[in-house]
Structure 1
Amino acid sequence: MPPLPSLAEIESAAALVRPVVPSTPQYSWPLLNARAGCEVWVKHENHAPLGAFKVRGGLVYFDRLRQREPALCGVIAATRGNHGQSVAFAAGRYGFSATIVVPRGNNPEKNSAMRALGAELVEHGEDFQAALEHARRLAAGRELHLVPSFHRDLVCGVAVSALDFLRQAPPLDAVYVPIGLGSGICAMIAARDALGWTTPIIGVAADRAPAVALSFAAGQIVTHPSTTLLADGLACSTPNAEAFPHILRGVAGVVRVTEEEIAAALRAAFSDTHNAIEGAAAAALAALLQEKDRRAGKRVGVVFTGGNIDSALLAQVLAAA
């Protein structure tokens, strides 16, 4: 298992990333504090240029890819949205063509955003796994480089933001981070460990995408179908084999949140912070609210990983209040 990026590596990545993606803010919102019964510090990755945390990882990955393979022309990736936007954006900056494979029925606004960034969009399959398998076939047939959803270089870029959060917020008693395929939470683990801190990191899984929570409890990878509608960024049926050992070692626990709790957290974020966030981001807040008695009077971090929610879905959730 390769080690997570060191402090020197993360700071080197920051020098590459920050001229393109400035540090996003972290705020403590009084209404949210009152709701949660503790001092909440929100890392607003929904304010990043593409509306999600992954953009930094793409920049670092493609910078190193261009150095390794200077003659490479094109790349391909499978995604539900935020990874694909990161790939399309960074590929364009480094002179690669980008093909993105998404499952049918994917968020139409994320699809439009990827096309706007210059990617060729291919719709295939009913879930992420089917899209990934098709991307692998296309990569072989078209001689394209397949960009993985989890890679040490991606983690290194994302860790720039995690390091900023831990350094710029007051000392935190715990941090809640949603888990998809693992780059976000591994970046937080890397940043904490690089600083030599012991801040507990709590992972969050959707109750209808429980594979990572089941795997954490079992101490080994467990596969389980994903049926979450609100938290597509957490719709992982099999935890990533490279990320999982780091999660198992570096996370204090994994909280499962229901679709109803995610919806309530979406409404809370909109009401208390005036931010529209996606379901995966709301899952982190939902987990804190689920554990509010345990965190009473503490200072707690929550990562709003992205804001790319379908407008019709957000309207439906807000109207349900």
Structure 2
Amino acid sequence: MHRLTRDDIEQAAHQVYQVMPATAQYPWPLLAERLGCTVWVKHENHTPTGAFKVRGGITFMHWLKRTHPSARGIVTATRGNHGQSLALAARALGLRALIVVPEGNSVEKNQAMRGFGGEVVEWGRDFDEAREEAARLAQTHGLYLVPPFHTELVKGVATYALELFKAAPDLDTVYVPIGCGSGICGVIAARDALGLKTQVVGVVSTEAAAAKLSFEARAICETATANTFADGLAVRKPVPEAFAIYSAAAARIVSVGEEQIAEAMRVYYTDTHNLAEGAGAAALAALIQERDAMAGKRVGVILSGGNVDRAVYAGVIG
């Protein structure tokens, strides 16, 4: 992927803002009191699809329309947020969106994808197997296969980081969850485009730690399973193009346990009255884990989404 410039990201923002406004970022006082540092939360749970992925969906579909004008539709694999973003953007262009999810995927995310016009197919035991089926369906139906990571997706996602850094340019550290990698790569791209020195820290679940293992080994590692309730983090193997970026430009990658993620979801509710899905709360969970090292600093956390099933959230909130 080529290095994105500020102009690249601002042009992407122009496309994004035709569909949605910029999201808010706030330095929540109760989080500061709890953690002993200034905590800026970037609220990607406030987008039209409830997650940051919509930005990349918008920019990707603009690119597809320009470069593949004869495309009849797209197919992709997802655990939910990526699929919602592409379904929304495809419908706006009158294109078919076929979305492959693993069996037993979030019922409410599946419903949301259908609500945005997507056709949902359940296949495989996890995201990685759903990706294989998406590739097969692309050939069968003559649809454009949208990968989980692409320059145009990162360009769109980087717009949220541009907003955050414009509002709070003096952040010492930003914590960002890692699934397929567009989020952390977008933050890195915006930081570098603005010439900032902010450290970017990736966050994974201990139950889906391939990105952390790969980062530490300096080579791509695959895990046998990715069984985390934070489904946006449930990836068994890093995407090579994304890994090439964050392995070189992230300060470190932190792993957090399932209960730590659940506690961060509760903290978001009590301290800010915001709903966070598991992946959306992971960055805060990592900050809570590293609170001593972050004492007195200015820290950003990416609340990447709020799409959690009611039954799951009820169990977490208790």
User: TM class, shorter-chain normalised?
Assistant: over 0.9
Match of 1:306 in 2: 305
Is 1:176 the counterpart of 2:175? The answer is yes
Q: Are positions 1:289 and 2:288 aligned together?
A: yes
Offset at residue 19 of structure 1 (A): 2.1
- AA matched with 2:297: K
SS across alignment from 1:171: coil
Report how many aligned residue pairs link the two structures.
318
Shift of 1:267: 0.6
Aligned match of 1:315: 314
The answer for the alignment partner of 2:196 in structure 1 is 197
| Partners of 1:255 and 1:314 in 2: CA distance | 24
Distance in 2 (CA, whole Å) between partners of 1:75 and 1:61 is 11
Q: CA deviation at 1:37?
A: 1.3
User: Is the 8 Å Cα contact of residues 210 and 226 (structure 1) preserved in structure 2?
Assistant: no
Distance 1:166 1:228 in 2: 33
Report deviation, 1:225: 2.9
Superposition pairs for residues 234-249 of structure 1, below 5 Å? 234-249=233-248
> Which residue pairs with 1:56 in the alignment?
55
Letter in 1 for 2:127: F
Partner of 1:242: helix, strand, or coil?
A: helix
CA contact (8 A) 2:208 2:228 kept: no
Q: Which residue of structure 1 lines up, in the alignment, with residue 158 of structure 2?
A: 159
1:41 match: 40
Displacement after TM superposition at 1:170 (Å): 5.0
Aligned-residue identity in percent: 54
Residue number in structure 2 paired with 1:253: 252
Q: Are residue 266 (structure 1) and residue 303 (structure 2) matched? A: no
- Over 3 Å counting, the alpha-carbon distance change for 1:148 and 1:154 in structure 2 is same
Distance in 1 between residues matched to 2:227 and 2:38, nearest whole Å: 29
1:32-111 equivalences under 5 Å are: 32-111=31-110
Equivalent residues of 1:211, 1:225 under 8 A apart = no
CA contact (8 A) 2:205 2:228 kept: no
Alpha-carbon distance in 2 for matches of 1:147, 1:245 = 19
Question: Where in structure 2 are there 5+ consecutive unaligned residues?
Answer: none
CA contact (8 A) 2:169 2:196 kept: no
Range that drifts further, 249-258 or 31-40: 31-40
- Aligned-residue Cα RMSD (Å) equals 0.9
Q: Is the contact between residue 80 and residue 233 of structure 1 (CA under 8 Å) also seen in structure 2?
A: yes
Partner of 2:187: 188
Q: Which runs of 5+ in 1 are unaligned?
A: none
1:6 is aligned to: 5
Residues 172-213 of structure 1: CA distance to partner in whole angstroms, max 9, x if unpaired? 110000000000000000000000111100000100001000
Q: State TM-score, norm by structure 2.
A: 0.98
| Contact residue 276 and residue 305 of structure 2 kept, 8 A | yes
Give secondary structure in 1 for the equivalent of 2:220: coil
In 1, Cα distance between equivalents of 2:290 and 2:169:
21
| Aligned twin of 2:148 | 149
Q: Find the aligned partners of 1:230 and 1:34 in 2 and give their Cα distance.
A: 28
Kept in 2: contact 1:81–1:111 (CA 8 A): yes
TM-score, normalised to structure 1, is 0.97
Matches within 5 A, 1:214-229: 214-229=213-228
Residue identity opposite 1:134 in structure 2: E
Amino acid at match of 2:194: L
- For 1:317, give the aligned amino acid: V
1:91 CA drift (Å): 0.5
**Aligned partner letter, 1:84:** G
Provide the rounded CA distance (Å) in 1 between the counterparts of 2:286 and 2:107: 27
The residue identity in structure 2 corresponding to 1:295 is M
Letter in 1 for 2:304: T
Q: Distance in 2 between matches of 1:289 and 1:202?
A: 13
